[in-house]
Structure 1
Amino acid sequence: MIGKPMHVPSLGARQGRNVILSLVLALLSSLLISSAAYAHAVAEGDKGYIQEISGINILPFIYLGAKHMVTGYDHILFLFGVIFFLYKLKHIGIYVSLFAVGHSTTMLLGVYFNVGINSYIIDAIIGLSVVYKSLDNIGAFQRILGFQPNTKVATLVFGFFHGFGLSTKIIEYDISPDGLVPNLLAFNVGVEIGQLLALSTILIAMGYWRRTRSFWRHAYTANVVMMCAGFVLIGYQLTGLVLS
């Protein structure tokens, strides 16, 4: 974890936020439960359009890739956790690049070789990546395990899983083999554009928040909320796996 060491608030301070935290968690949980099925879902209109076209269609696939990333709240949550304590652009660039390399590799190879993973399992793992990064941010691994996992390796590995999440859903597009490679590359470009848009928004918001005194007072709570969101996503997807 890069940046100022995390300060764990006292029991009294945590108790003072219990009501607010409970309300936030309830709202976030209801949001996730109502929309978890759409985290990587293919909109019917987009799916129908892709199934009807053939040949090289660069712009439509760039649009679909950007749309998928911007609306993929699980990806955004993970990125939010990754940059939470990163202040220097070079550090942000390293971690975001590792994540991009990871998800681009498995997304492209997964679709090209038609390798898909059960969407419930892969989305549960993506939820786990959010939980992992939250625990990392609050220093839980150092306190519980006595060592700090390599965050760069973890970012790359979870990037691979995020990429399989993308490839699994892209396969549902039933893309025509005519122009497959250019269209996949265009989709990946769109994903990176969407990632940059989401990242820019997060960085702007974080920049304002970090300049306030409330940042260090509420940083712990923010990561706990994010961790709970990850657990909700895991639980929802595992429930779906069992019921399916």
Structure 2
Amino acid sequence: MMRSLLTAYLCACALSMALPASAHKPSDSYLTLSAAGQQVDGQWDIALRDLDMAIGLDSDGNGELTWDEVRLRHDAIAAYARSRLKLSSGGAACPLQVTGHLLDDHTDGAYAVLRLRAACAADVATLDIDYALLFDIDPQHKGLLKLQHAGQATTAIFTPDAPRQQLQIAGASKWRQFADYVRHGVWHIWIGFDHILFLLSLLLPAVLVYRDRAWAGATTFRAAAIDVVKIVTAFTLAHSITLTLATLGMLSLPSRLVEAAIAASVALAALNNLWPMFQRQRALMAFCFGLLHGFGFAGVLIDLGLPQAALMLSLVGFNVGVELGQVAIVAAFLPLAFLARHTSFYRKAVVAGGSSLIVLVALVWLAERGLDVQLIS
């Protein structure tokens, strides 16, 4: 009975992770504020696809946004943005105005750029920010803030669980910034479905051995754990290398190529569970494809713009967060998978069935990313 419950749980996890999900970078907005005296100036980059979903920009319904369609909705965009962002200082509101509209390209598409200005009643020492953009329609959305003052920068991340924050204008703690990026790294890996499915595809056979053209249960937990450690270490080392190089601007690849290659890596890793070709080289596979996944992680940090005064600390914090997110996934998966390893249900339904679904989803992602079409997203 216990084994049946365990295998049913593992199967449900595999199936839920393989359900159609967004094939591109999760929804983010980028808010930059600069405080001086009583005035706060800023810029807010919001994806056009998100604004279209929230207030409707595509007037002719052809699925393509033009500059004229966006321009005609400038007032609606400004009103929507002001209703979703409130600033205050010392208990008094700082009325926010949108002073200009631009367009810009990020790694994941076109963004509306709103120029902002707010006037506070007194010199700003602390800034209270109430952020509610898209939270009512997209619970995975995040607002990434950079607050600048006198050459220093403070960062914050707004989520549905943390929509209100108070920031010190001067003397902000670098360790607070480090903690913010750790949290952002954890969140990014947990909602990065392609990264999770790649890792899951490598972990599914970790509690098995391939003999006589069939999977069988591993004999000891130690052997399974060593296999997992090798895979996770290789993946971590690889994506840390390219994450660092890409974020520092030393190496770059086109976003569409990176996204398509990540989708291909997910499909190949899952196919290897169905027709094992690299059963003893999964750690090498994790390293090779982990280099590509590092570019995917870097896309978020490049768009955000790391504060130069604490560049390495923020970069390390984000990477630590990614690793903690991975460890949590492994810690939840490995013991249950080991207990269920001898059941045919695990081998057939979880490994074979789950891997098959992962292949299908990854191939759809590959078509979407390679051909720039929308199928299931």
Q: Same fold (TM over 0.5)?
A: yes
The aligned residue for residue 23 of structure 2 is: 36
Deviation at 1:48, TM superposition (A): 3.5
Selected match of 2:196 from 71, 76, 101: 76
1:79 alignment partner, SS class: helix
Aligned residues: 209
Higher helix fraction: Structure 1 or Structure 2? 1
1:49 alignment partner, SS class: strand
Deviation at 1:129, TM superposition (A): 0.8
Q: What letter is aligned with 1:228?
A: L
Higher strand fraction: Structure 1 or Structure 2? 2
The aligned residue for residue 369 of structure 2 is: 237
Matched, 1:123 2:259: yes
Deviation at 1:137, TM superposition (A): 1.3
Q: Distance in 1 between matches of 2:335 and 2:370?
A: 34
The aligned residue for residue 133 of structure 1 is: 269
Q: Distance in 2 between matches of 1:90 and 1:141?
A: 20
Selected match of 1:221 from 334, 340, 353: 353
2:199 alignment partner, SS class: helix
Using the size of structure 1 for normalisation, the TM-score is 0.75
Q: Which moved more, 1:131-140 or 1:46-55?
A: 46-55
Deviation at 1:165, TM superposition (A): 0.8
Q: Distance in 1 between matches of 2:147 and 2:372?
A: 27
Q: What letter is aligned with 2:295?
A: F
Deviation at 1:240, TM superposition (A): 2.0
Q: Distance in 1 between matches of 2:294 and 2:307?
A: 20
The aligned residue for residue 64 of structure 1 is: 184
Q: Distance in 2 between matches of 1:197 and 1:236?
A: 30
The aligned residue for residue 329 of structure 2 is: 198
Higher relative contact order (CA 8 A, sep 6+): 1
Percent of pairs with identical residues: 22
The aligned residue for residue 205 of structure 2 is: 85
Deviation at 1:84, TM superposition (A): 1.1
The alpha-carbon distance between structure 1 residues 192 and 50, as it changes in their structure 2 partners (threshold 3 A), is: farther
Deviation at 1:176, TM superposition (A): 1.9
Q: Distance in 1 between matches of 2:302 and 2:250?
A: 7
Matched, 1:97 2:97: no
Q: Distance in 1 between matches of 2:336 and 2:257?
A: 32
Q: Distance in 2 between matches of 1:202 and 1:97?
A: 17
The alpha-carbon distance between structure 1 residues 130 and 112, as it changes in their structure 2 partners (threshold 3 A), is: same
Deviation at 1:224, TM superposition (A): 1.2
Q: Distance in 2 between matches of 1:156 and 1:123?
A: 17
Q: Distance in 1 between matches of 2:365 and 2:301?
A: 21
Q: What letter is aligned with 1:71?
A: I
Deviation at 1:153, TM superposition (A): 2.2
- Structure whose CA Rg is larger: 2
Query: What are the Cα deviations for residues 166-190 of structure 1, in whole angstroms up to 9, with x where unaligned?
Result: 1122100122211101110111111
Q: Provide structure 1 residue ranges, at least 5 long, that are not aligned to the other structure.
A: 1-23, 143-147
Q: Distance in 2 between matches of 1:205 and 1:43?
A: 37
The alpha-carbon distance between structure 1 residues 210 and 118, as it changes in their structure 2 partners (threshold 3 A), is: same
Using the size of structure 2 for normalisation, the TM-score is 0.50
Deviation at 1:135, TM superposition (A): 1.6
**What pairs with 1:7-46 in structure 2 (closer than 5 Å)?**
31-32=20-21, 35-39=22-26, 41-42=27-28, 46=142
Matched, 1:181 2:317: no
Contact 1:51 1:175 in 2 (8 A): no
Q: Distance in 2 between matches of 1:102 and 1:93?
A: 14
Contact 1:103 1:160 in 2 (8 A): yes
Deviation at 1:221, TM superposition (A): 2.2
Q: Provide structure 2 residue ranges, at least 5 long, that are not aligned to the other structure.
A: 1-14, 31-130, 132-141, 155-171, 208-223
Q: Distance in 1 between matches of 2:256 and 2:373?
A: 6
Structure 1 stretches of 4+ moved >6 Å:
none
Deviation at 1:51, TM superposition (A): 5.9
1:105 alignment partner, SS class: helix
